[in-house]
Amino acid sequence: MLPSNGDPLIAAVPAADLVRTLKQADLTVATAESLTAGLLAATIAGVPGASSVLRGGLVVYATDLKHSLAGVSEHTLTADGPVAASTAEQLAVGARTVCAADWGLGLTGVAGPEPQDGRAVGTVFLGLAGPEGTEVLRLKLSGDRWTIRMDAVRAAVCELVRSLGRRTSGNQPGGV
């Protein structure tokens, strides 16, 4: 079932909650996306009023763009690879920095159909960079390419809502 504005992406993800929470806190967000190729930013942008909180997004599907656009170090890409916790962390920081946002979300992973660089299909790393530091989560998702990509978007939205709730409640996470 489509939401009243007809956007199927926000029907599957609590993006409206994220936009509302960011607005209430007067905060902004930006994305740097590999496996989701802009799907996260598009999902957030599907919420009416998102322009007040979404600064922008970087689609860094190619490994070299992770470095040149998002600022992931060449050392990290060589030593750890494009699908790694360290890469997701630097993607999140890069999104936050390049787009001048309060929060940055970085997503990198393997949607399939084949493993990549020794990483199994469904391996996803989510980086969150905010005013108090960064956090990286490793996700193990399953399903076809679309399902893995949408579940990665859902996880990113839900984790940022969770982090914002933790921040406003005074229970702030440590950095990675």
**How far, in Å, CA of 16 to CA of 11, rounded?**
9
pLDDT over 60 at 1, yes or no: no
pLDDT of residue 169: 67
53 Cα distance to chain centroid: 15
**How far, in Å, CA of 89 to CA of 134, rounded?**
7
Tens digit of each residue's pLDDT (9 = 90 or more) over 13-32: 999 999 999 999 999 999 99
Tens digit of each residue's pLDDT (9 = 90 or more) over 109-135: 999 999 998 999 999 999 999 999 999
Helices 15-25 and 145-168 pack at an angle, to 10 degrees, of 30
Q: What is the pTM of this model?
A: 0.92
CATH numbers and ranges of domains, the chain: 15-166 (3.90.950.20)
pLDDT of residue 173: 46
In this prediction, residues 133-159 reach a mean pLDDT of 98
32 contacts 91 by C-beta, under 8 angstroms:
yes
Q: Is 97 helix (H, G, I), strand (E, B) or coil?
A: helix
41 contacts 56 by C-beta, under 8 angstroms:
yes
Average pLDDT, whole number, for the chain?
93
Q: Which of 1-10, 18-27, 112-121, 154-163 has the lowest mean pLDDT?
A: 1-10
Strands (E), the chain: 29-33, 54-59, 103-109, 123-130, 133-140
pLDDT of residue 175: 41
Tens digit of each residue's pLDDT (9 = 90 or more) over 69-120: 999 999 999 999 999 999 999 999 999 999 999 999 999 999 999 999 899 9
29 contacts 171 by C-beta, under 8 angstroms:
no
pLDDT of residue 174: 44
88 contacts 108 by C-beta, under 8 angstroms:
yes
pLDDT of residue 12: 83
Q: What percent of the chain has pLDDT over 90?
A: 86
pLDDT of residue 9: 82
